[in-house]
C-alpha cells in the first residue's frame, strides 16, 4: 500500500463563466519516504491536486469524482476534526511565501511550539521548548536560544522558510507537501533550502511532494517526476529519464524551451499557442494544437491518449510515445 | 515558419549604422554611480547603499546583462540611469550628454531616448486604459500628432507579435506574456536608444519565457538599441546578453563578455551563483553552497563586501578590491583571490566594459 | 499562489497567426473594467433595490408635488393636527399644513443638502488628497496637517456658533457640513495615491516623460474616484442626519420652509409623539429609508470595485 494514493481525481472550480475543469482524472501514488516532484505551468492543476489532498481547497472548488487515500484512509470520508488531526501531524505543507505561514505578531518559538502542543497535549512547556530549539537547530538556524524568541519580520526570507520547514517537521510527519518552496528565495539561498529538504527526506524518512514550474529544479532532488498539463498527467518518470528519454512532446518542448547551460542557441525553441481553455477542455489530446511531434497522426485530434507504461518506471500519455526519437537535452 | 517579428515593416528611422570599421557609438556611460537612501529602522537611522560606485559604458547594438540576487541594487542602478530614482553621486551620460542633473521640460524630452519594460506584467499596465491608449502614452507625452500615433500603434502591435484589433481591448483580457508584449510596444514607441528590461520574464511560464527572449533579441537586432537586461537568472542573461555585470551589495564584482564570465568565472560569488542555478552544467563539480544570506545594504561589511560569505577570505580582503583585470589577464573582477584555474583558461576579450 | 486558471483570454498568436475567429466562441466581448464593475454592482440584489428605491424617492419629491392639492406652506388653522384623511393623505400639522406636501418638499431640501454636501466634500477631499499624495514632502505635510486640523475641530460647535451669528441659511449649511466632511475623502484619496504612485504603470508614465498633471488626471484620479465615492455614500447619510439634528436645534432649515429635520423637530413634544404619529413617522421613515438605500449602494459599489470579488 502506498502512503498517498490519488485515484482518478476530478475537480471543478466554479467561476462566473461556468465551471473550470481544473483536474480531469489525475491518478498517482507516493511511496513512503520518497521524493516526488510535480511540474507544470500555471493553471495546470498541480497546486489543486495538493490542496485537495490537504483538503484545503477554496470554497468554490468541487470534487466531482475520484478519491484520495492516505495510509489507507479515504480522505474525503473523514470529518473535518479528523482531518485536522492529520494536518500538521501526519501530513504537513510548506508554502511558497513563508510569511503567509507565519503569524507576524507571535514569536517564532511560540508558533512552532503550538504545532507540537496541538497534537501532543501532555507535553510540558519545557519539553516543547526543547523540541522547538532542537528542530530549529536541525534546519540550520544559528544562535537558536536567542533567535527563537524573535518575531518573523526580524528573520530574513531564507531563515523564515527554514522556520516553516522546521514547523512542518515538528511532529515527524509521514508526508510533506512543498508548493514552490524556493520561489520567493534568491538563488544561493534556494540551493540551501533544497539541500535542507533533501536532508529531511533522507534522514527522517518522510515522503516529500514538491511542486514547481521548473523541471530542472525538481529533478535536482526528486526521485520521480510527474509532468502535468491542462489538468491531467502528461508524463511520469524518474528524474534521470525525464531528461534523456522523455516520451511526451510537452515535456520535451518544456526542456527545449529553457535557456539552459548548453550551446547558446540563436533562437530558443518555443511552444506555439496557449494551454486549452479549461472551461471547455478538449475531448482529444490536450496538447494536439501545440504539438510539433504529431507527425500528422489523425488519431491525436480524435482520441485522448491514456497514460500508459513505456518503461519500468515510466508512463506517458501520448499516442506516439513509442515512436518519439531520443532527444539530447543539454541543460 | 514565418515570424511576425522579422516581417519587413520599417518603423525605425534611418540611423547612423555602427558598421564595421567605425568606432561603435557609446549610448550610455555611467561613472561611479551612487544611490544612497537614508532609512529609519525603528529608532536607528541608517543609509542603504543601494548602489555604491558603479561604472560602465554600453555601445549601440549591445546588451548588458545585470545579474544578482534581490537587493543587490541591479534595479536601482537601472532606475537611476533612467532618472526614475535620484542618484547621490557619480554621473550618467546618454548619447554623450550628462543627464545626471537634467530636469523639467528638458528631462521629459530626454526620456524619449530611454525606455523601460517592467517585471510585473500586471502592475505595469493601467487596468482602466485600452491597449491603444497605453501604447500611445509615451508618444503623446513626446508631442506626436494624433494621426502619427494611430498609425504607429498598429505597427508596434504587429512588431511585438500582437494584432491591430487588440488596441481596443483592456489589459485584463491578456495573459502575462501578452501583457509584456504590450509593455514592450509602449517602450518601443519613441524609438529609444536605450531599452532597460527589468526582469521582464521572471513572472512568466517557461514556454512563454522562450517566446519573449526570442522577441527581445529580434527587437534589438532590428532597432539597433543598447539594452540593459536585468535578471536574477544566469541562464536567461546568458542567452540574451553580450556582456554581463554581476552585482553584489551595490557593486559590480565581475564584468566581461558573457560567455567568458559564465564559463570561466573569476569571482567566488559568480562561481557560487552559477553553481546554485538548477540544471546540468558543463563540467559540473561539487556544488558550492554559500552559507548565510546577502547581508543588509545598511552598514555593509567593510573591505570586500562578499568576504563574510566567502570561503577564500583572508586578511587581505579587509581592504576593498578594485574592479580591474587581474594579473595574468581575463575579464574584470573585484577580488583579491580570483579563480586562478579560470584565469589561465580565459582569454583577454574585453568588450566595452 | 493562484488556483484560478486564467479566464478565457485572447489567443496567444505568436508563432502562427491564428485568427481570433478560430477561438472566439469562448472569448467575451471586450468589456472595460468599468462595465465589468457595473455588471457586478447590478448583480447585487440589495444594491439594485436600493438604486430603485432612491430613484423612486427622487422622482416622488420632484414630480408628485406638482399634482398635490395643497402646497407645503398652505396653512389652514381650522384643520390643525388632523389625522390622515382622504383630503390630507398624511394628515396636517399644527398650522394645518399638509404633511404629505411638506414631506415631499422637505425631501427635496434634505436630499439636496445630503448630496450637495457629499459632492463638495468629495471634490475638495479628492483634490487635496491626490495633490498631497503625489507631491509628498513639505506640501504633503502642510496639507495633511490642515486635514488633521479640520478633523480635530468639533464640527457641530462651529456650525452652531456660525449658524447662531449669521443666522440659518441653506448654502451656509452645506458649506459648513462639507468643510468638516472633506478630510475623510482627502485621507482616502491620499492613501490610494500613495499605493498607486509606486505601481509600475505610473513609473512607466514618468519614464515616458508624461507631465505631472497629466499623470494625476490620467492615472491617479481614476483609481481614487471609486474609493472616494464609496466613502461619499456615508457622507450623504451623515449630512442628511446632521441637517435633521441642526434643524432640531433650530439652526438648519427654518420654517415655513420644510425639511425632514425640521418636521421631526416640530413633532418633539410628548403629546405629539404618543398621540399623533402621522407627524413624525413619515419624515422618520423617509430619513431611514434614504440612509439605508445610500449605505447599501455604497456597500455594493465597494464590492463591485474590489477586483478580488470576481465571483
Residues whose CB falls within 8 Å of the CB of residue A282, separated by 6 or more in sequence, listed in order: A230, A276, A288, A304
Mutation target among A11, A12, A15 for the C interface, most CBs of C within 10 A: A15
pLDDT at A184: 79
pLDDT at A268: 85
pLDDT at A328: 62
Give residue A223's Cα distance to chain centre. Answer: 13
> For residue C40, is pLDDT > 90?
no
3-state secondary structure at position A297: coil
Highest mean pLDDT among B173-182, B184-193, C301-310: B184-193
Subunit contact B172:C33, Cβ cutoff 8 A: yes
Subunit contact A22:C14, Cβ cutoff 8 A: no
B254-272 mean pLDDT: 91
- Choose the weakest-confidence range: A157-166, B248-257, C180-189: A157-166
Nearest CA in chain B to C220: B126
Subunit contact B239:A268, Cβ cutoff 8 A: yes
Residue C202 Cα, gap to closest chain A Cα (Å) = 25
C37-46 mean pLDDT: 86
How does residue A99 score in pLDDT terms, banded at 50, 70 and 90?
Answer: confident
Please indicate if any CB of chain B lies within 8 Å of the CB of C308. no
CA distance C35 to B271: 53
How does residue B285 score in pLDDT terms, banded at 50, 70 and 90?
Answer: low
Backbone phi, psi, residue B57, to 5°: -135, 150
A110-135 mean pLDDT: 88
How does residue B43 score in pLDDT terms, banded at 50, 70 and 90?
Answer: low
pLDDT at A183: 83
Subunit contact A270:B289, Cβ cutoff 8 A: no
C7-29 exposure pattern, b = at least 16 Cβ within 10 A, e = fewer: bbbbbbbbbeebeeeebeeebee
Report the neighbours of A using a cutoff of 3 or more CB pairs below 8 angstroms: B, C
pLDDT at A261: 73
Spatial CA neighbour of C117 closest among C171, C183, C189, C158: C171
Subunit contact C208:B115, Cβ cutoff 8 A: yes
Residues in chain B: 353
pLDDT at C11: 34
> For residue B343, is pLDDT > 80?
no
pLDDT at A260: 75
B121-131 mean pLDDT: 91
How does residue B347 score in pLDDT terms, banded at 50, 70 and 90?
Answer: low
Contacts 24+ apart (CB under 8 A), A318-322: A318/A234, A318/A235, A318/A247, A318/A248, A318/A249, A318/A285, A319/A285, A320/A249, A320/A293, A320/A294, A320/A295, A321/A247, A321/A248, A322/A247
- Grid cell for residue A309: 507504461
Residue A170 Cα, gap to closest chain B Cα (Å) = 23
Q: Residue C31: its chain B contacts at CB < 8 A?
A: 170
Subunit contact C1:A47, Cβ cutoff 8 A: yes
A21-33 mean pLDDT: 93
Backbone phi, psi, residue C127, to 5°: -60, -50
Residues 257-296 of B with CB under 8 A from A: 259, 262, 272-273, 275-282, 287, 289-291, 293-294
CA distance C229 to C221: 12
> For residue A326, is pLDDT > 90?
no
- Grid cell for residue A145: 536560544
> For residue C5, is pLDDT > 50?
no
How does residue B353 score in pLDDT terms, banded at 50, 70 and 90?
Answer: very low
Residues 233-272 of A with CB under 8 A from C: 270, 272
CA distance A260 to A254: 11
CA distance B331 to B345: 11
> For residue C226, is pLDDT > 60?
yes
> For residue A235, is pLDDT > 90?
yes
Are C190 and C161 contacting, i.e. CB atoms less than 8 angstroms apart? no
Is the ipTM, as predicted for this complex, more than 0.85? no
pLDDT at B245: 96
pLDDT at C202: 94
C137-156 mean pLDDT: 89
How, if at all, do strands A308-311 and A314-316 pair? antiparallel
C12-37 mean pLDDT: 47
Helices (H), chain B: 74-81, 104-110, 131-141, 146-159, 176-188, 206-223, 234-240, 258-263, 268-276, 340-345
pLDDT at A156: 83
Subunit contact C4:A13, Cβ cutoff 8 A: yes
Subunit contact C31:B107, Cβ cutoff 8 A: no
Nearest residue, CB atoms, C2 vs list A15, A16, A42: A42
Residue A47 Cα, gap to closest chain C Cα (Å) = 7
Backbone phi, psi, residue C76, to 5°: -145, 90
3-state secondary structure at position A269: coil
Nearest residue, CB atoms, B126 vs list C17, C201, C211: C201
Spatial CA neighbour of C121 closest among C193, C191, C190, C175: C175
CB atoms within 10 A of CB B15: 13
> For residue C9, is pLDDT > 70?
no
CA distances from A177 to A54, A174, A234, C269 (A): 9, 10, 21, 71
B106-115 mean pLDDT: 94
B318-330 exposure pattern, b = at least 16 Cβ within 10 A, e = fewer: eeebebeebeeeb
Are B47 and B36 contacting, i.e. CB atoms less than 8 angstroms apart? yes
Amino acid at each position: 500500500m502506498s502512503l498517498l494514493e490519488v485515484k482518478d481525481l476530478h475537480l471543478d472550480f466554479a467561476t462566473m463563466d461556468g465551471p473550470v475543469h481544473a483536474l480531469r482524472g489525475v491518478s498517482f501514488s507516493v511511496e513512503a519516504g520518497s521524493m516526488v516532484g510535480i511540474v507544470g505551468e500555471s493553471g495546470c492543476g498541480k497546486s489543486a491536486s495538493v490542496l485537495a489532498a490537504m483538503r484545503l481547497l477554496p470554497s468554490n472548488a468541487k470534487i466531482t469524482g475520484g478519491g484520495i487515500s492516505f495510509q489507507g484512509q479515504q480522505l474525503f470520508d473523514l470529518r473535518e476534526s479528523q482531518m485536522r488531526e492529520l494536518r500538521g501531524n501526519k501530513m504537513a505543507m510548506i508554502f511558497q511565501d513563508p510569511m503567509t505561514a507565519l503569524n507576524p505578531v507571535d514569536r517564532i518559538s511560540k508558533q512552532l511550539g503550538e504545532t507540537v502542543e496541538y497534537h501532543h497535549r501532555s507535553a510540558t512547556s519545557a519539553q516543547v521548548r526543547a523540541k522547538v530549539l532542537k528542530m530549529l537547530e536541525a534546519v540550520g538556524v544559528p544562535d537558536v536560544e536567542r533567535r527563537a524568541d524573535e518575531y518573523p519580520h526580524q528573520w530574513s526570507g531564507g531563515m523564515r522558510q527554514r522556520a516553516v520547514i522546521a514547523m512542518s517537521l515538528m511532529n515527524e510527519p509521514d508526508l510533506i507537501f512543498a508548493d514552490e518552496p524556493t520561489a520567493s528565495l534568491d538563488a544561493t539561498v534556494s540551493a540551501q533550502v533544497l539541500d535542507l529538504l533533501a536532508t529531511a527526506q533522507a534522514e527522517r524518512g518522510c515522503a516529500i511532494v514538491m511542486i514547481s514550474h521548473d523541471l530542472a529544479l525538481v529533478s535536482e532532488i526528486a526521485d520521480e517526476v510527474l509532468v502535468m498539463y491542462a489538468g491531467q498527467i502528461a508524463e511520469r518518470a524518474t528524474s534521470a529519464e525525464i531528461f534523456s528519454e522523455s516520451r511526451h512532446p510537452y515535456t520535451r518542448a518544456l526542456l527545449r524551451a529553457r535557456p539552459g547551460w548548453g550551446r547558446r542557441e540563436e533562437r530558443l525553441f518555443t511552444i506555439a499557442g496557449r494551454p486549452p481553455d479549461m472551461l471547455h477542455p478538449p475531448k482529444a489530446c490536450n496538447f494536439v494544437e501545440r504539438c510539433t511531434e504529431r507527425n500528422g497522426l489523425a488519431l491525436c485530434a480524435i482520441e485522448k491518449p491514456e497514460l500508459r507504461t513505456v518503461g519500468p518506471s515510466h508512463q506517458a500519455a501520448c499516442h506516439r510515445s513509442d515512436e518519439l526519437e531520443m532527444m539530447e537535452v543539454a541543460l | 515558419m514565418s515570424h511576425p517579428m522579422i516581417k519587413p515593416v520599417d518603423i525605425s528611422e534611418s540611423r547612423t549604422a555602427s558598421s564595421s570599421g567605425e568606432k561603435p557609438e557609446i549610448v550610455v556611460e555611467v561613472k561611479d554611480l551612487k544611490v544612497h537612501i537614508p532609512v529609519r529602522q525603528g529608532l536607528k537611522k541608517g543609509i542603504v547603499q543601494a548602489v555604491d560606485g558603479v561604472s560602465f559604458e554600453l555601445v549601440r547594438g549591445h546588451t548588458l546583462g545585470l545579474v544578482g540576487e534581490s537587493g543587490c541594487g541591479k534595479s536601482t542602478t537601472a532606475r537611476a540611469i533612467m532618472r526614475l530614482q535620484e542618484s547621490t553621486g557619480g554621473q550618467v551620460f546618454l548619447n554623450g550628454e550628462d543627464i545626471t542633473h537634467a530636469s523639467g521640460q528638458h528631462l521629459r524630452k530626454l526620456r524619449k531616448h530611454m525606455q523601460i519594460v517592467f517585471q510585473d506584467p500586471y502592475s505595469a499596465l493601467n487596468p482602466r486604459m485600452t491597449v491603444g491608449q497605453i501604447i500611445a502614452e509615451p508618444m503623446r507625452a513626446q508631442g506626436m500628432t494624433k494621426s502619427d500615433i494611430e498609425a504607429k500603434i498598429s505597427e508596434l502591435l504587429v512588431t511585438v507579435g500582437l494584432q491591430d484589433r487588440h488596441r481596443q481591448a483592456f489589459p485584463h483580457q491578456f495573459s502575462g506574456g501578452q501583457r509584456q508584449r504590450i509593455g514592450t510596444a509602449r517602450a518601443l514607441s519613441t524609438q529609444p536608444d536605450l531599452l532597460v528590461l527589468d526582469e521582464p520574464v521572471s513572472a512568466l511560464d517557461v514556454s512563454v519565457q522562450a517566446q519573449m527572449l526570442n522577441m527581445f533579441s529580434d527587437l534589438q537586432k532590428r532597432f539597433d538599441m543598447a539594452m540593459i537586461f536585468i535578471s536574477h537568472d544566469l541562464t536567461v542573461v546568458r542567452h540574451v546578453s553580450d556582456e554581463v555585470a554581476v552585482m553584489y551589495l551595490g557593486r559590480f564584482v565581475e564584468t566581461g563578455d558573457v560567455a567568458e564570465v559564465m564559463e570561466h568565472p573569476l569571482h567566488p560569488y559568480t562561481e557560487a551563483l552559477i553553481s546554485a542555478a538548477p540544471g546540468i552544467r558543463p563540467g559540473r563539480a561539487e556544488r558550492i553552497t554559500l552559507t548565510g544570506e546577502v547581508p543588509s545594504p545598511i552598514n555593509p561589511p567593510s573591505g570586500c563586501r562578499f568576504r563574510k560569505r566567502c570561503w577564500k577570505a583572508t586578511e587581505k580582503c579587509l581592504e576593498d578590491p578594485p574592479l580591474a583585470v587581474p594579473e595574468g589577464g581575463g575579464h574584470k573582477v573585484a577580488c583579491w583571490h580570483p579563480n586562478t584555474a579560470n584565469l589561465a583558461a580565459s582569454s583577454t576579450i574585453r568588450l566595452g566594459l | 499562489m493562484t488556483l484560478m486558471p486564467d479566464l478565457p483570454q485572447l489567443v496567444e498568436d505568436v508563432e502562427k497567426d491564428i485568427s481570433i475567429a478560430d477561438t472566439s466562441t469562448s472569448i467575451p466581448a471586450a468589456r472595460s473594467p468599468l462595465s465589468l464593475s457595473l455588471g457586478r454592482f447590478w448583480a447585487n440584489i440589495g444594491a439594485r433595490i436600493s438604486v430603485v428605491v432612491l430613484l423612486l424617492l427622487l422622482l416622488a419629491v420632484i414630480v408628485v408635488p406638482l399634482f398635490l392639492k395643497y402646497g407645503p406652506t398652505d396653512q389652514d388653522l381650522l384643520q390643525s393636527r388632523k389625522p390622515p384623511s382622504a383630503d390630507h393623505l398624511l394628515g396636517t400639522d399644527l398650522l394645518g399644513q399638509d404633511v404629505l406636501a411638506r414631506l415631499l418638499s422637505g425631501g427635496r431640501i434634505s436630499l439636496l443638502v445630503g448630496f450637495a454636501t457629499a459632492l463638495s466634500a468629495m471634490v475638495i477631499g479628492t483634490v487635496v488628497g491626490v495633490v498631497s499624495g503625489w507631491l509628498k514632502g513639505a506640501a504633503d505635510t502642510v496639507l495633511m496637517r490642515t486635514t488633521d486640523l479640520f478633523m480635530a475641530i468639533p464640527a457641530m460647535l462651529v456650525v452652531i456658533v456660525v449658524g447662531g451669528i449669521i443666522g440659518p441659511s441653506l448654502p451656509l449649511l452645506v458649506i459648513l457640513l462639507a468643510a468638516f466632511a472633506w478630510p475623510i475623502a482627502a485621507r482616502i484619496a491620499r492613501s490610494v495615491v500613495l499605493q498607486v504612485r509606486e505601481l509600475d504603470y505610473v513609473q512607466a508614465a514618468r519614464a515616458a516623460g508624461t507631465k505631472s498633471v497629466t499623470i494625476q488626471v490620467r492615472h491617479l484620479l481614476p483609481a481614487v474616484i471609486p474609493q472616494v465615492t464609496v466613502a461619499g455614500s456615508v457622507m450623504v447619510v451623515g449630512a442628511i442626519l446632521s441637517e435633521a439634528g441642526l434643524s432640531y436645534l433650530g439652526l438648519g432649515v427654518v420654517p415655513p420652509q420644510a425639511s425632514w429635520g425640521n418636521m421631526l423637530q416640530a413633532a418633539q413634544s410628548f403629546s405629539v409623539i404618543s398621540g399623533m404619529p402621522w407627524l413624525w413617522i413619515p419624515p422618520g421613515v423617509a430619513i431611514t429609508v434614504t440612509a439605508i438605500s445610500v449605505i447599501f449602494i455604497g456597500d455594493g459599489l465597494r464590492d463591485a470595485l474590489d477586483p478580488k470579488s470576481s465571483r
